[in-house]
Amino acid sequence: MENIVKIFAYLRVSTDKQAESGAGLAAQRDSCLKWAEALGGTVEQFYADEGVSGSTGLDRRPALLEAISQLKKGDVLVVAKRDRLGRDLILVAMIEAAVERKLAKVASAAGEGTGDNDPSSVLMRRMVDAFAEFERNVIGARTSAAMQAMRKKNERVGHVPFGFRLAEDRVHLEEDEEEQSILNQLQELIDAGLSTRQIADELNRRKSFNRGGARWNHGSIHRIRTRLAA
């Protein structure tokens, strides 16, 4: 690391809540600062993508793109942990390739073999990336299974779908007669071959409005059509 010219730090939080609280960003910033200080250096600038998923492509990470554009030969782009680059093997490889084209390096304040390109370090990077992707897939599978189990028990999963309302226990769903009547009308219009926009216009003409008395539009009809077809 003796040839470092400048150190830049990249921070990323995956949810808007983390971004608003600043907790995730603050912890990452502190890790990067300590890493730089241990090398006798300082962080030139911090770049943060807030509310950005680890699977989001490089083209939708303006802060990361800006950070890479500032890199010059010998510079280092440091992250608190390697999964801040991403949780997708191909995506991380693309980011590293973009950094290497600038003759710069990616480093992790947590170690993880990001300092050099010797075989052991490369192997460590690939293992860390693979486990990060595996963890993301496991979490996704568990979440999906839990949501499916809740649906089977007729329990609320996120937004209460049109046609239903929360039961008195505030956990389970029960049919809303008025909304179910509108759903039946919507299905009849689908069966009659009307387009999404035509269905919205017809329901509005009948004053069979969306929840809260809102008028139907193309998007709201499309979402319900998709749900009914599932």
Spatial CB neighbours of 121, under 8 Å, sequence gap ≥ 6: 113, 114, 115
Reported as a single tens digit per residue, the pLDDT across 103-147 is 999 999 988 755 556 666 655 656 656 656 656 565 556 655 655
Residue 186: how many other CB atoms lie within 10 Å: 23
The tally of CA atoms less than 13 A away on the side-chain side of residue 186 is 29
Cα 89 from Cα 75, distance rounded (Å): 23
Lowest mean pLDDT: which of 20-29, 35-44, 60-69, 177-186?
20-29
Looking at residues 186-195, what average pLDDT do you find?
A: 94
Say yes or no: domain 7-117 is CATH 3.40.50.1390: yes
Cα 38 from Cα 35, distance rounded (Å): 5
Reported as a single tens digit per residue, the pLDDT across 5-18 is 799 999 999 875 55
pLDDT at 86 over 50: yes
pLDDT band at 156 (very low <50, low <70, confident <90, very high): very low
**Cβ atoms 162, 183 nearer than 8 A:** yes
Max CA-CA distance within the chain?
A: 74
Residue percentage of the chain with pLDDT more than 70:
74
Q: Is 99 helix (H, G, I), strand (E, B) or coil?
A: helix
DSSP 83: G
Task: State the residue for tokens 């998007």.
Answer: 219
Query: What residues does each domain of the chain span?
Result: 7-117, 164-229
